[in-house]
Chain A
């Protein structure tokens, strides 16, 4: 099973790396992302870049689009390019196909985020000219990769769910952006419609909790959501439901 997962991931990586593959407009957006998060924003904040805990929150949502698009390409894209059915006719078990694709997309998105983090460190150190090396404090160095991973997992699971019946990558991408908007607005809406007493309590918790507690709670919430959506994706990813003409 693990070998099958790695086989599928190998192929996905191969396609992501192939010249015309991951690129096709994708390459430009990669360069822009690297420039914004690896160079521009760090330049703007200077030494604060490594000190402020708020940067951690970037890393949770930067991988969303990257991973979502990669997974839509891997499932809806295979259907659109008529390679999915042949893959489904092979001996690979359903979960191995799904997990291989998820593994490739998540490692791709997460790897890029790690690249941005490192690049931003280089940028800050070259521009800030402070004495000594500027490094992230330990909790950011742990928290940022963790949040990035959870964000990537969320996008992957959501990407699978919208790709199950989508005939083309475009359809999947559209559904995915709606999905991500819902993920943002449903909690906001729920928060808004809470009784006033709850709101007050939540507000006072947010005031006193501090960035760390908030970040860890967010991470726990994300992890729960990741697991739930991935479980749903695994349950729904069945060959006999995947062939749509």
Chain B
């Protein structure tokens, strides 16, 4: 037996004509923060709903925490926590009552409930304001409270559906730091969806990229970055069109072009740049500077999204 906490096999869900999730094969090992990346409408929320057994798949299957989502979803929800698309807090109730309700749901005893609520609210900076009705709070505060609610019962698996969506950059980065600290402290496996690449880079050990319901890439963020094109930028004088054409034909070169008087070369993964530089120097160009850019996760993402449009 492997230690995969989530394993899907050709998981599919259609709504009428469109396949929101289309033949998804995914494996999330225990103990990682898994980032599920995709643009709007890619099928991220639908995937979470399927994994929690809130929607039935129209094809394929999934096992979460060792249980089948179709037949044993109750056992999955027993050990999972969730912060979904909407924070799901009762705005008429106080922060304390919101947590008390979920603590009762998970069967925490009175003393444990008090300690746990205090511990979480303090680490999220909300303890002083626990008696206030949540309806009057800022979005960032609500989102933090919802994180506390999702972690209350020490779940083995935590689902976070775009946890920082709609927060300003400061609040978002604040929440990310708190999430990173909490997740490390609690040792919980996390399935997090986002279209924010900085978030995936900051929080995730592994990312999967989904597009129109299909998984298009999966791996460590660095692996994904390494897989995409590396860009070489050369500043110098006396570039010629013949040189551009010659470089374009070199193995490992995907594209060579002059941009603003600079030579820009996109190379395939793992291509070696030194022969190219030697060739440029050999052609008589006076080279001022050579820069090699590591692509960001954002570049990888955009490339994946543009492929076979």
Q: Is B78 an interface residue (CB 8 A)?
A: yes
On chain B, the residues within 8 Å of A85 by CB distance are 54, 84-86, 88
Q: Is the CB of B53 within 8 A of A239?
A: yes
Whole-angstrom CA separation of A81 from B102 in the bound complex: 17
Chain A residue with the shortest CB-CB distance to B103:
A7
Chain B residue with the shortest CB-CB distance to A11:
B101
Q: Is the CB of A21 within 8 A of B77?
A: no
Q: Is the CB of B90 within 8 A of A10?
A: no
Scan residues 57-99 of chain A and give those whose CB is less than 8 A from a CB of chain B: 81-83, 85-93
Chain B residue with the shortest CB-CB distance to A241:
B56
Interface string of A1-28 (1 = CB under 8 A from B): 0011001001100110011110000000
Q: Is A207 an interface residue (CB 8 A)?
A: no
Chain B residue with the shortest CB-CB distance to A15:
B92
Given A7-B104, A91-B105, A93-B74, A240-B54 contact (CB < 8 Å):
yes
On chain B, the residues within 8 Å of A21 by CB distance are 92
Chain B residue with the shortest CB-CB distance to A245:
B15
Q: Is A182 an interface residue (CB 8 A)?
A: no
Within the complex, what minimum Cβ distance (angstroms) separates B153 from chain A?
8
Q: Is B55 an interface residue (CB 8 A)?
A: yes
On chain B, the residues within 8 Å of A3 by CB distance are 107
Scan residues 86-143 of chain B and give those whose CB is less than 8 A from a CB of chain A: 86-93, 97, 101-102, 104-107, 133, 135
Q: Is B200 an interface residue (CB 8 A)?
A: no
Of residues A7, A10, A85, A86, which shows the largest number of chain B Cβ atoms within 10 Å of its Cβ? A86
On chain A, the residues within 8 Å of B101 by CB distance are 7, 10-11, 14
Selected from B52, B86, B104, the residue in CB contact (under 8 A) with A82 is B86
Q: Is B19 an interface residue (CB 8 A)?
A: no
On chain A, the residues within 8 Å of B92 by CB distance are 15, 18-21
Q: Is the CB of A91 within 8 A of B106?
A: yes
Q: Is B82 an interface residue (CB 8 A)?
A: yes
Given A89-B54, A89-B82, A82-B88 contact (CB < 8 Å):
yes
Chain B residue with the shortest CB-CB distance to A7:
B104
Q: Is A243 an interface residue (CB 8 A)?
A: yes
Within the complex, what minimum Cβ distance (angstroms) separates B256 from chain A?
48
Q: Is the CB of A83 within 8 A of B84?
A: no
Whole-angstrom CA separation of A4 from B86 in the bound complex: 23
Chain A residue with the shortest CB-CB distance to B146:
A86
On chain A, the residues within 8 Å of B255 by CB distance are none
Q: Is the CB of B105 within 8 A of A4?
A: yes
Q: Is the CB of B55 within 8 A of A15?
A: no
Q: Is B67 an interface residue (CB 8 A)?
A: no
Scan residues 52-77 of chain B and give those whose CB is less than 8 A from a CB of chain A: 52-56, 73-74, 77
Whole-angstrom CA separation of A88 from B102 in the bound complex: 12
Our count of residue pairs bridging A and B at CB distance below 8 angstroms stands at: 75
Q: Is the CB of A240 within 8 A of B56?
A: yes
Whole-angstrom CA separation of A216 from B53 in the bound complex: 45
Q: Is the CB of A240 within 8 A of B93?
A: no
Q: Is the CB of B93 within 8 A of A83?
A: no
Q: Is the CB of B54 within 8 A of A15?
A: no
Whole-angstrom CA separation of A30 from B28 in the bound complex: 53
Given A18-B92, A240-B53, A86-B104 contact (CB < 8 Å):
no
On chain B, the residues within 8 Å of A88 by CB distance are 54
On chain A, the residues within 8 Å of B53 by CB distance are 239-240
Of residues B53, B54, B105, B133, which shows the largest number of chain A Cβ atoms within 10 Å of its Cβ? B105
Interface residues of B (CB under 8 A from A): 49, 52-56, 73-74, 77-78, 80, 82, 84-93, 97, 101-102, 104-107, 133, 135, 159
Q: Top 6 A-B pairs ranked by shortest CB distance?
A: A86-B88, A82-B86, A89-B82, A18-B92, A7-B104, A21-B92
**30 A-B pairs in the complex with CB atoms less than 8 angstroms apart:** A7-B101, A7-B105, A10-B101, A15-B92, A18-B133, A19-B92, A20-B135, A21-B92, A81-B90, A81-B91, A83-B88, A85-B54, A85-B84, A85-B85, A85-B88, A86-B87, A86-B88, A87-B88, A88-B54, A89-B52, A89-B77, A89-B80, A89-B82, A89-B84, A90-B105, A91-B77, A93-B74, A239-B54, A243-B49, A243-B54
Apart from A11-B101, A89-B82, A91-B106, 12 more pairs, CB < 8 Å: A10-B101, A11-B93, A11-B97, A14-B97, A15-B90, A15-B92, A82-B86, A92-B105, A239-B73, A240-B53, A243-B54, A243-B55
